[in-house]
Amino acid sequence: ICEYRFFLSNNYLPKKLYEEYGLIPHRHNIENLISKIPETLVSHFIRGVFDAEGSINYSINYDGNKLGWRKYDLTITTYHDLLIYIDDKLIKQKIFENKHKLYHRHKNGDLHCRSLKICGNRQILNMLHFIYKDSNDNIRLERKYQKYLDMLNYMQNKNLK
């Protein structure tokens, strides 16, 4: 297991991050941040959010006496506006056809935090292709990338791709 820490020891970078991007702890207004993301970096930005706030899991479903098959789901839990941005960008990229419903993470919890849950193996695989297609070893969370590779391998072996 690897752990990284990022410490700022001067005032220039924090001031720049705050003034230009509105990056402060516990922010829920992300308009200043997302308005500055070039289209060419959207997949990388979404991958960063997924690496930080997302999960991918599967359950085994059985159909009568046949062997079970994997049913995947992908969830990202973060600020409401950020999930709307991600959903809209993935629709624009034709990864999804329709908007997804956002869910409260906890009843009576944080008013700004929601979960975006994506189901459907092909839909999830399309999203993962989009966010990992231009990634490299240094700019992705390896354990989540490995889940993507495992899903891709499973889908190819089952001829479900």
CB 75 within 8 Å of CB 116: yes
Per-residue model confidence (pLDDT) at position 22: 67
Q: Specify the pLDDT at position 4.
A: 61
Dist CA 45 CA 51 (whole Å): 10
**Cβ proximity of 83 and 116 under 8 Å:** yes
Name which of 44, 66, 69, 68 is nearest 141 in CA terms. Answer: 44
User: Residue 35: is its pLDDT beyond 90?
Assistant: no
DSSP 160: -
Provide the token pair at 94.
């034709």
Mean pLDDT score, 106-125:
83
pLDDT (0 to 100) of residue 87: 95
More confident position, 155 or 112: 155
Give me the count of residues in the chain: 161
* pLDDT score recorded for residue 160: 59
How would residue 84 be classed by pLDDT, with cut points 50, 70 and 90?
very high
* Among 3-12, 81-90, 99-108, 113-122, the least confident range: 3-12
- Residue 43 predicted with pLDDT over 90: yes
Residue 54: band (very low, low, confident or very high) from pLDDT cuts 50, 70, 90:
very high
Distance CA 58, CA 124 (A): 11
